[in-house]
């Protein structure tokens, strides 16, 4: 709580929920773990969850009539436009959870955003003038396949249908919008899976005719998936990280063990995502280390065609004009000497 308060004093927050503000793997009409017989009405649960979120988190409510509608955008001059998406409660269809219904991922009638939000995003992307387009989003956008097969289920068998892999048709519509508007320089920021990932974004990463993992040809952006700050990670799975990258050559970094955060540094020339990791979340005393960094250049400097993602040895330089730390008002008040208040003595009967 102390560190959260310090962050709130120093930095503006742009917030969006994922699933555990309501229930695990939530979708528009339910959840993997919600049983109406045990937990009551799903709509009551969602209404309570979204109301609590809007009351307690720093978020400006875009639509008081429907608290699920939190998608919005922010312009940072002509450098970047940030799109905050809602992929859980408003429009998401149920996930395809078994091998028997994986074909649903290609069903064009299925959506993750909801068609109203899809239309909003398409309108914002049409003629978008920003150098970089950043998408704040709940789950991993890049493909995470356990088997690559050309022409089948967008080129492979998805490892987690709760991610965008389970809604490949909706993801392809976003790739279509990027292509129709000639948009490169797309940066997706994701979370959900309590681990750190970096990937090049391309429609069919297993197709050598349209994408090369060696030089990034065919990539139209990059994704940085942030680990958990305090929630559990999966250190027991860390040995398979190399296998994951071998099966998914567009994925350039996988770290399944550590807690931490991502710092995104944007300039007109490049977008750089940095993974900062901590050694423990069990005590207030911890050490932070620079884990890895990956940068993609402005596609206009690459002939306007692709966004290769390359490892960077050092973190970005701190800003020379960084604002001073915000004053610790509460701490300063607590450290002030308490005034001595003279109060008249009152007589009282002795305690028997």
3-state secondary structure the chain: CHHHHHHHHHCCCCCCCCCCCCCCCCECCECCCCCHHHHCCHHHHHHHHHHHHHHHCCCCCCCCCCCCCCCEEEEECCCEEEEECCCCCCCCCCCCCCHHHHHHHHCCCCCCCCHHHHHHHHHHHCCCCCCEEEEECCCCCCCCEEEECCCCCCCEEECCCCCHHHHHHHHHHHHHHHHHCCCCCEEEEECCCCCEEEEECCCCCCCCCCCCCCCCCCCCEEEEECCCCCCCCCHHHHHHHHHHHHHCCCEEEEECCCEEEEEEEECCCEEEEEEEEECCCCCCCCCEEEEEEEEEECHHHHCCCCCCCEEECCCCCCCCCCCCCCCCHHHHHHHCCCCCCCCCCCCCCCCC
Segment-wise mean pLDDT, segments of 10 residues, the chain, 352 residues: 72 93 96 96 98 94 96 98 98 81 84 98 97 98 81 69 95 98 98 97 94 96 96 92 94 97 97 97 92 97 86 92 78 62 47 46
What is the distance, to the nearest Å, from the Cα of residue 224 to the centroid of all Cα atoms in its chain? 8
**CA 42/CA 28 separation, integer angstroms:** 9
Torsion of CA 302, 306, 307, 311, to 10 degrees: -80
**CA 144/CA 165 separation, integer angstroms:** 7
Full domain range(s) for residue 5: 1-68
What pLDDT score was predicted for residue 327?
Answer: 79
Q: What is the pTM of this model?
A: 0.90
Is residue 262 domain-shared with residue 205, that is, in the same domain?
Answer: yes
**CA 275/CA 292 separation, integer angstroms:** 5
What pLDDT score was predicted for residue 333?
Answer: 57
Domain contains 79: yes
- Helix 168-180 vs helix 115-125: angle between axes, to the nearest 10 degrees? 20
Look at the chain and report how many structural domains it folds into: 2
Domain contains 339: no
Final residue in a domain of this structure, among 68, 84, 115: 68
Among the listed residues 9, 16, 11, 55, the one whose alpha carbon sits nearest the alpha carbon of residue 226: 16
Read off the CATH number of the domain in which 290 is found.
Answer: 3.60.21.70
- Do residues 126 and 173 touch, judged by C-beta distance below 8 A? no
Is residue 160 domain-shared with residue 296, that is, in the same domain?
Answer: yes
Domain contains 332: no
What pLDDT score was predicted for residue 340?
Answer: 60
Is residue 95 domain-shared with residue 106, that is, in the same domain?
Answer: yes
Is residue 14 domain-shared with residue 37, that is, in the same domain?
Answer: yes
């Amino acid at each position: 709580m102390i560190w959260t308060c310090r962050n709130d004093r120093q930095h503006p927050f742009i917030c969006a929920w994922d699933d555990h503000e309501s229930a695990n793997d939530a979708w528009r009409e339910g959840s993997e773990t919600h049983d109406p017989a045990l937990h009551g009405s799903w709509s009551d649960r969602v209404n309570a969850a979204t109301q609590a979120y809007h009351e307690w988190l720093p978020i400006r409510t875009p639509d008081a009539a429907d608290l699920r509608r939190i998608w919005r955008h922010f312009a940072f001059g002509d450098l970047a436009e940030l799109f905050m998406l809602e992929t859980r409660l408003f429009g998401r269809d149920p996930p395809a959870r078994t091998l028997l219904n994986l074909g649903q991922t290609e069903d064009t009638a299925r959506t993750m955003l909801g068609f109203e939000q899809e239309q909003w995003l398409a309108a914002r992307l049409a003629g978008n003038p920003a150098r970089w387009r950043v998408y704040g989003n709940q789950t991993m956008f890049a493909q995470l396949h356990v088997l690559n097969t050309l022409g089948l289920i967008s080129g492979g068998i998805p490892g987690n249908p709760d991610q965008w892999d389970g809604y490949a048709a909706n993801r392809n519509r976003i790739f279509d919008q990027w292509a129709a508007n000639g948009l490169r320089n797309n940066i997706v920021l994701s979370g959900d899976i309590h681990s750190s990932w970096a990937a090049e974004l391309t429609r069919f990463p297993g197709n050598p005719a349209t994408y090369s993992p060696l030089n990034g040809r065919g990539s139209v952006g990059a994704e940085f998936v942030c680990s958990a700050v305090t929630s559990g990670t999966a250190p027991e799975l860390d040995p398979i990280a190399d296998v994951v990258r071998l099966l998914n050559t567009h994925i350039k970094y996988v770290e399944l063990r550590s807690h931490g955060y991502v710092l995104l540094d944007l300039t007109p020339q490049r977008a750089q995502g940095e993974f900062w990791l901590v050694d423990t979340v069990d005590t207030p005393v911890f050490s932070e280390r620079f884990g890895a960094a990956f940068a993609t250049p402005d596609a206009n400097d690459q002939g306007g065609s692709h966004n290769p993602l390359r490892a960077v040895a050092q973190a970005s330089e701190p800003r020379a004009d960084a604002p001073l730390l915000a004053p610790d008002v509460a701490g300063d008040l607590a450290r002030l000497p308490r005034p001595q208040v003279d109060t008249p003595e009152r007589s009282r009967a002795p305690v028997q």
